[in-house]
Amino acid sequence: MKTYQVGLIGAGFMAKAHAIAYAGLPVFFWPAPALVNRKIIADLTQERADAAAAQFGFEKGTGDWHDIINDPSIDIVDICTPNDAHAEIAIAAAKAGKHILCEKPISRTVDEAKAMYEAVKKAGVTNKLAFNYRMTPAVQLAKKYIGEGALGDILDFRGTYLQDWSADPNSPLSWRFQKKICGSGAFGDIATHVVDMLRFLLGDFTEVNARLATYIKERPVQTGTVDNLGVVKGGENVPKKAVDVDDQCLLTLKCKSGAFGTIEATRNAWGRNNYITFEIHGTKGSVYFNYERRDELQVCFASDPGDRRGFRTVYTGPAHPYGEALWPIPALGIGYTETKIVEMYEFIKAVSEGKQVEPNFEDGYNIELIGEAAFKSASSGLWEKVRSI
């Protein structure tokens, strides 16, 4: 069995998820399309990289990510850094002929996304963006129902991504609130996940009307580089600086098919944690998904007899997409880890077959263009067309 060598850049929360996915891939998907050896992990200093190597099972650490690009034995570059480093690393990796897995969102700007897309296209390398939630079996099942025409023509949809980890004004000004590092706030960080799922389910969006808001205008400056998601003890005594990205976004979108709907995202919704939902209505039925109950898909069909028509719950299990590889009976529980393992499986399969996979840099670039139209609409107050690639 082929073994690929991976170099992972960034050693935070996402590096943990990717490290587990490399290890878990052959455990769930056996025979695996290929194995992956965790060879090098890069962080800002050698000391931190060495600690991450020990924790995440890499052969060694480095304080300079260029060591990964310049190492001819590395087949795959995995980018788990904040958004400001995605373009530089991905373009260097593509030029060096490495396959690339990159965390979402693709970049800070449309120009960066374009450059990344062109670099991987020119190099012909397999590239994947880590929008993991579409890999949830229940989301894949929704795609199956829609593809089979079980919902009829799609009329409308609504999607949400609601969290509350930044609702307290003392939640620190991490990189996620600084435009020069992240590009955008709730839009790039979380709305893009729902945009990705709904593009996957319904096809491309052509026009957007959006409202964006920043409710907490300044936050305590974060000390240290750890990605703090939530309030830090003593944070109220730290000097504050301005937030220059969106806290909340509300998009109304039109699909190429004519369907339209809304996507709402905020990290300031008390009581909501990872509340990723979508509801899709068609002429023959509806589906409803809530990631906080991610083993379930709610379905309702117009053809059911009137006296028993209503949403019913399908628990995903071995009969459903990816289910056979995961757990032997429904409702044992799919978690964040499983979505990352399925994502890794699709990526490594594509690498081993010399193919492309979705979502990829082209999808990421398209989502940046949707963001561009949304931000334009938020200031013009008008419907704005989404540019095509």
Residue numbers at the binding site for ligand SOE (CB under 6 A): 163, 189-190, 229, 267
| Shortest spacing between CB 249 and ligand SOE, in angstroms | 13
> CA nearest 90: which of 59, 65, 110?
65
| Shortest spacing between CB 189 and ligand SOE, in angstroms | 5
Q: Which is closer to ligand SOE, CB of 142 or CB of 190? A: 190
CB neighbours of residue 157 within 10 Å = 23
Q: Which is closer to ligand SOE, CB of 189 or CB of 296? A: 189
| Residue 201 one-letter amino acid | L
| Shortest spacing between CB 360 and ligand SOE, in angstroms | 17
Bridging pattern class, strands 60-62 and 154-162 = unpaired
| Shortest spacing between CB 161 and ligand SOE, in angstroms | 8
| Shortest spacing between CB 229 and ligand SOE, in angstroms | 6
CB neighbours of residue 273 within 10 Å = 11
Q: Which is closer to ligand SOE, CB of 190 or CB of 201? A: 190
| Shortest spacing between CB 163 and ligand SOE, in angstroms | 6
| Shortest spacing between CB 363 and ligand SOE, in angstroms | 15
List Cα–Cα distances, 172 to 112, 134, 235, 254, in angstroms: 27, 29, 7, 35
User: What tokens were used for 52?
Assistant: 């991450």
| Shortest spacing between CB 307 and ligand SOE, in angstroms | 41
Question: What is d(CA 21, CA 346) in angstroms, rounded to the nearest whole number?
Answer: 11
Of all residues in this chain, which one has the CB nearest to ligand SOE in the complex?
Answer: 189
Question: 128 Cβ partners below 8 Å, 6+ apart?
Answer: 100, 101, 102, 343, 346, 347, 350, 357, 358, 359, 360
Question: 266 Cβ partners below 8 Å, 6+ apart?
Answer: 162, 163, 186, 247, 248, 249
Cis link prior to 31 (omega < 30° from 0)?
A: yes
Q: Which is closer to ligand SOE, CB of 39 or CB of 267? A: 267
Q: Which is closer to ligand SOE, CB of 163 or CB of 286? A: 163
H or E stretch at 160: strand 154-162
> CA nearest 286: which of 188, 125, 151?
151
| Shortest spacing between CB 338 and ligand SOE, in angstroms | 14
> CA nearest 128: which of 323, 348, 336, 339?
348
Strands across the sheet with 127-129, in order? 60-62, 35-42, 3-9, 76-79, 99-102, 127-129
Q: Which is closer to ligand SOE, CB of 191 or CB of 255? A: 191
Q: Which is closer to ligand SOE, CB of 337 or CB of 352? A: 337
| Shortest spacing between CB 4 and ligand SOE, in angstroms | 25
Q: Which is closer to ligand SOE, CB of 28 or CB of 275? A: 275
Q: Which is closer to ligand SOE, CB of 126 or CB of 163? A: 163
User: What tokens were used for 352?
Assistant: 């081993």
Bridging pattern class, strands 248-255 and 260-266 = antiparallel
> CA nearest 166: which of 242, 273, 83?
273
